[in-house]
Amino acid sequence: MAKAKYKRIFEEIWDSNKELFQEFFMLNNDYADPANRTKLENKFQEIGGKVKNLLVDGENELCRAMENTDNRVYSSKVADKYWDEVRKYFKFIDLVGVVSSQS
């Protein structure tokens, strides 16, 4: 059975940027420990920003053709599935670009 397009696009982006994605994967795992977050924040944001930009480009590729058709609702669902796939590997991807204030 053929892979879903959202999975194929994610895998293509990963394979094309393997070193960057593996570095962020490891960083993302280290970032899971709250004791590490302050120490890793700048690196997490820098590398995560590069990764997230590539992933957003993938989402745009996935949904571009559907946005101007009657499939707009379907496009949103496919985008959600795409980001759910991303979160399987990068649990904290949604924190990239978020500025936190530490007291």
| DSSP letter string, 60-95 | HHHHHHHHTSTTHHHHHHHHHHHHHHHHHH-TTGGG
Note whether residue 102 is domain-resident. no
Which pLDDT does position 102 carry in this prediction?
57
Query: Which domain covers residue 56, as residue numbers?
Result: 5-91
Write out pLDDT tens, residues 15-68.
Answer: 999 999 999 999 999 999 999 999 999 999 999 999 999 999 999 998 887 766
Q: Tell me the pLDDT band of 3, cut-offs 50, 70 and 90.
A: confident
Number of structural domains, the chain?
1
Which pLDDT does position 71 carry in this prediction?
65
At residue 14, does pLDDT exceed 90? yes
Q: Catalogue the long-range contacts made by 27-32 (C-beta closer than 8 Å, 24 or more residues apart).
A: 28/89, 28/90, 28/91, 28/92, 28/93, 31/92, 31/95, 32/91, 32/92
Note whether residue 98 is domain-resident. no
